Amino acid sequence: MRQTSKYEKKFGRVILALAAVVSIAVAYYPHPTRAEDNVRARVDQLQRELKDVQLKLKNRETRARSADKKAPAQDESLVKWHLSGYAVANFVATDAADQHDTFSGAQFSPIFHFQYGDLVLFEAEPELAIEDSQETSLELEYAMIHLMLHDSFTLGAGKFLSPVGQFQERLHPAWINKLPDMPAGFSHHGGIQPASDIGVQARGGIPVGGMTATYVVALGNGPQIGDEGFTQEGFGADNNDNKAVSGRIGFLPVPYFEIGASFEYARVQGWESDNGPATNANFTLWGVDAAFTRGPWDVRFEYLNGKLGSHYGRAEEADTDGSLIPKTDWEAWYVQAAYQLSGFTNTRIVRNFEPVVRYGQFTGDGFDEFVEAREYRWNIGLNYHFAPSVIAKGSVEWRDMKAPGAGDETRYLLQLAYGF
C-alpha cells in the first residue's frame, strides 16, 4: 500500500482548513440571494399598499365630484319656485234680526312664486271661496311679473293689489290681519279702499343714510261704473281712454316706524242715458298711514278720503236707462293696537296670546247706494298664536250703522287662519 506523503497530508490539511473557514463565513454572513428575496418581497408589499391607497384616493375624488354636481341644483340654479298662501275658516254670530249665526269664509288662497336669478319674480294668487250659496268662487287676486332692474327699482306688469295705503297690499291676508274682518270702509265691497287694478307699476326702497324711503307708482285701467255701481277691482278691459294713476310714498326714519301717503286719480266712464249724454266723472282718492311695529307692539292708523263726481249710472235695481248720480264723498279710517304677551312673560301658553283693539269709521255723503255701508265700528279681540303663522282669533264687534233705517249690530267673530 502506498503511504501518504508528507506533502499530501499538508495539502489535505490546508483544504480542510479552507473549507472550514468558508463554511464559517457562509454561516455567519446572510446568503446574498436570501436578502434580495426579502427586499423584493418588501418592495412588492409596498407597491401593493401604494396601489391600494391610490385606488381609495381615486374613489374619494369621484364621490366628491359627484357631490359637487348635486349641490349646484340646490344652491346655484337660476330658476327657483315656492308655494305659499293661506287658508281660513270663520264663524259669525250676530244679533241682527235678518241674519243668522253661520260658519262662513272657507277660503283657500295659494300663492305661486317663480324666480329667475335676481332678475325676475312672477307671483300669482288665485282665491277659492264658498259663496253664501253652495257655489265656489274662483278669483285671481293678482298675477304680476316683476323685473328687479336695480336694488331700488322694480318694474311690474299684470294684475296688482292696490298700492294705496298699507292694508290692502300688505295686511289683508288672514294670517296677518289682527282681526277676523277688514276695517270699516276698507273692504272690497261697499268700501272706499281700492282692491286691485291691471296695468304696470314701478316700485322700490331707497336707503337714505340709516333710514329708508319707499315708493310705488302705478298706471292701470282704473275703476268702472257698472251694474253693481262704482267698482274698484281690476278690469280686464278698459272702457275709456283714460288710465288711473295711483301710488304711495313711505318713509321709515327708524326701522320700526313707518309713515306714508297715497293717492289715486281716474276718469270714470258714465252710462249713456236717455236723460242725457254720458258724462265722465273724476275720481280722486288720497290717504295717509302710519305704523309702529317694535317688539310685541303693532300699532297702526290709516285714513282714506275719496271723491267721485256726478255721472250717469244706475240709480236703482230697475233703472236700466240710467240716471244722474250725484257727487259722492267718502271717508274711512281706523286705528288699531295689538300687543303680543310674549313681550312681558315667557310663561308657556300665556305668551302666545295677543289682545287687540280697533276703532274705525266709514262715512260718506252723496249717492245713497254708495254710502249705505256707513258705520262706526269697535272691535275688541284676543288672538292665540299656535305658531307665527297659525292664528286663532276671537272678536266682539259693535257696529253703529249710520245709513237711515239701518239697525245697529253686535257680532261675535271666530276665525282660524294658517299662512303657509
> How far is Cα 141 from Cα 99, in angstroms, rounded to an integer?
28
Binding residue for other proteins (CB under 8 A) from 20, 78, 350, 382?
A: 78
Establish if 256 lies at the interface with other proteins (CB under 8 A). yes
Do 131 and 107 meet the contact criterion of CB atoms below 8 Å apart? Answer: no
Residues 6+ apart with CB under 8 A from 111: 83, 84, 85, 86, 123, 124, 125
Does 113 sit near other proteins (CB under 8 A)? yes
d(CA 287, CA 212): 20
64 forms part of the interface with other proteins (CB under 8 A): no
Q: What angle is formed at CA 46 by the lines to CA 44 and CA 51, rounded to 5 degrees?
A: 95
Inter-residue contact 300 to 338 (CB < 8 Å): no
- Residues 6-45 binding other proteins (CB under 8 A) are none
Determine, following the binding rule CB under 8 A, whether residue 343 of this chain makes contact with other proteins: no
Whole-number Å distance between alpha carbons of 250 and 235: 27
76 binds other proteins (CB under 8 A): yes
Distance of CA 248 to the CA centre of its chain: 20
Between 26 and 211, name the residue whose CB sits nearer to other proteins.
211
Name the minimum Å distance from CB 295 to other proteins.
8
371 binds other proteins (CB under 8 A): no
Pick 200 or 357: Cβ nearer other proteins: 200
Tell me if 164 sits within 8 A of 179, measured CB to CB: no
- Confirm or reject binding of residue 336 to other proteins (CB under 8 A): no
Q: Nearest distance from residue 72's CB to other proteins, in Å? A: 8
293 binds other proteins (CB under 8 A): yes
Number of residues forming the site for other proteins (CB under 8 A): 65
Return the number of the residue (111 or 192) whose C-beta is nearest other proteins: 111
Site string for other proteins, 176-205 (x = CB under 8 A): x-----------------------x-xxxx
Using the rule CB under 8 A, which residue among 96, 124, 140, 219 binds other proteins? Answer: 219
Question: Given candidates 389, 402, 409, 414, which one binds other proteins under the rule CB under 8 A?
Answer: 389
Distance CA 295, CA 258 (A): 15
Choice between 210 and 405, CB closer to other proteins: 210
CA–chain centroid gap for 364, Å, is 34
CA distance 316 to 227: 9
Q: How far is the CB of 97 from other proteins (least distance, A)?
A: 38
Contacts to other proteins from residues 118-147, by CB under 8 A: 118-119, 121, 123, 146
Annotate 10-41 with three-state secondary structure. Answer: HHHHHHHHHHHHHHHHHHHCCCHHHHHHHHHH
Nearest Cα residue to 367 out of 400, 401, 409, 325: 325
Is residue 82 close enough to count as binding other proteins by CB under 8 A? yes
Q: Are 307 and 329 in contact (CB under 8 A)?
A: yes
| Minimum distance, C-beta of residue 327 to other proteins, in the bound complex (Å) | 18
Q: Are 383 and 415 in contact (CB under 8 A)?
A: no
Residues of this chain that bind other proteins (CB under 8 A): 74-76, 78, 80-82, 84, 111, 113-115, 117-119, 121, 123, 146, 148-156, 166, 169-171, 175-176, 200, 202-207, 212, 214-217, 219, 241-243, 245, 250, 255-256, 258, 267, 291, 293-295, 340, 385, 387-389, 419
